[in-house]
């Protein structure tokens, strides 16, 4: 089973979502397609770990709160469904006494501690802030005991490549996620020690049961004098943090897009096979300093 086969299978089942060739097609298509029912969140904890429904885009909004004494350095981030009801999904905050960038992610906006039962995952970087790993709330294998089934899963790895163009060029990102089973469930990746994990497997090119995604390369626009991507009206402000994540086999299928709409508000839209926790953590990684990659 190659990392592409779920993707090709999935795309061949009719979810191409390619842009229509003419505006007329768009209008016709609009009439034919009934409006999608709203995304329902019954159990938030389960919802944020479940892949997006196939053929749907889950539209969300990220807000950044810099209020309070140390919030300038350690802001809180909140993820809501971008719908009429603005359903809260996740909150994240950078931990203070940590050698590397380390964000706790919780399903309770008022409780961002590791101890509580609302802790659902974390994002951890390497020392220079160029590589990140996303974990669920399972046990650290170093203190885990014998039951491997309780060890934490790695849900994503994000690699920022050093920018050879100096400060001005766009960022380059690679995202590694676990593959999907034939039942459309995430294949659990539970490393037992530091010599295994998504980053190690990616470095060793052992990509079995893994999917490699990339950011879509922005196109230089002479008129605006900036790099641009088509966000279909979901992003309104230029920012180095704006990105779209794709699979190289099908660059028109946007797996995740993230971009600024105001000083402290961003849209985050994700699709199958990503879940909300993966999307939110990938976005959090883009807020980190990463001087090594600018």
Dump the DSSP string for the chain: --TTHHHHHHHHTT---PPPSSHHHHHHHHHHSPPPPPPP-SSHHHHTTSPPPTT-EEEEEEEEE--STTTTTS-EEEEEESSTT--EEEEEEE-SS-SS-EEEEESSTT---SSSTTEEEEEEE-TTSSEEEEEESSB-GGG--S-GGGBPPEEEEEEEEP-TTTTSSPPEEEEEEE-B-TTS-BPP---SSTT-SHHHHHHTT--TTEEEEEEPPPEEETTTTEEE---TTS--B--TT-EEEEETTEEEEEEEEEEEEETTEEEEEEETT--HHHHHHHHHHHHS--GGG-
Domain count, the chain: 1
pLDDT at 289: 60
167: domain CATH number?
3.20.90.10
Q: Which domain holds residue 283?
A: 5-34+41-293
Is 178 within 8 Å of 211 (Cβ atoms)? Answer: yes
pLDDT in tens, the chain (294 residues): 455 555 656 554 444 443 333 333 333 344 444 556 778 888 889 999 999 999 999 999 999 988 755 656 788 999 999 888 889 999 999 888 777 888 999 999 887 777 778 899 999 998 888 899 999 999 888 876 778 888 999 999 999 986 655 555 667 899 999 999 999 999 999 999 888 999 999 999 999 999 999 999 888 888 877 778 888 888 878 777 789 999 999 999 999 999 999 989 999 999 999 999 999 999 999 887 654 454
- Specify the pTM: 0.84
Can you tell me the distance from the alpha carbon of 135 to that of 152, in angstroms, rounded to the nearest whole number?
Answer: 6
């Amino acid at each position: 089973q190659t990392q592409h086969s779920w993707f090709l299978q999935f795309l061949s089942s009719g979810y191409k979502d390619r842009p229509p060739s003419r505006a007329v097609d768009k209008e016709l298509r609009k009439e034919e397609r009934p409006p999608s029912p709203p995304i329902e969140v019954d159990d938030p904890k389960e919802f944020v770990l479940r892949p997006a429904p196939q053929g749907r885009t889950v539209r969300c909004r990220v807000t950044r709160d810099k209020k309070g004494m140390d919030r300038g350095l350690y802001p809180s981030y909140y993820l809501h469904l971008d719908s009429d009801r603005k359903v809260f999904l996740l909150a994240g905050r950078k931990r203070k006494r940590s050698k590397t960038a380390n964000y706790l992610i919780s399903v309770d906006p008022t409780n961002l501690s590791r101890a509580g039962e609302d802790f659902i995952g974390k994002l951890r970087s390497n020392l220079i802030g160029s590589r990140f790993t996303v974990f669920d709330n399972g046990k650290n294998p170093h203190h885990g005991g014998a039951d491997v089934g309780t060890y934490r899963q790695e849900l994503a790895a994000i690699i920022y490549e050093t920018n050879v163009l100096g400060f001005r060029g766009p960022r380059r990102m690679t995202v590694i996620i676990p593959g999907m089973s034939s039942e459309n469930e995430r294949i659990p990746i539970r490393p037992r020690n530091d010599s295994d994990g998504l980053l190690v497997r990616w470095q060793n090119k052992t990509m079995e049961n893994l999917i490699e995604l990339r950011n879509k390369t922005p196109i230089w626009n002479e008129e605006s004098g900036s790099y641009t991507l088509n966000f279909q009206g979901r992003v309104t402000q230029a920012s180095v943090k704006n990105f779209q994540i794709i699979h190289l086999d099908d660059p028109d299928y946007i797996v995740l897009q993230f971009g600024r709409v105001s000083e402290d508000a961003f849209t985050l839209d994700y699709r199958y096979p990503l879940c909300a926790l993966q999307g939110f953590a990938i976005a959090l990684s883009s807020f980190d300093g990463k001087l090594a990659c600018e």
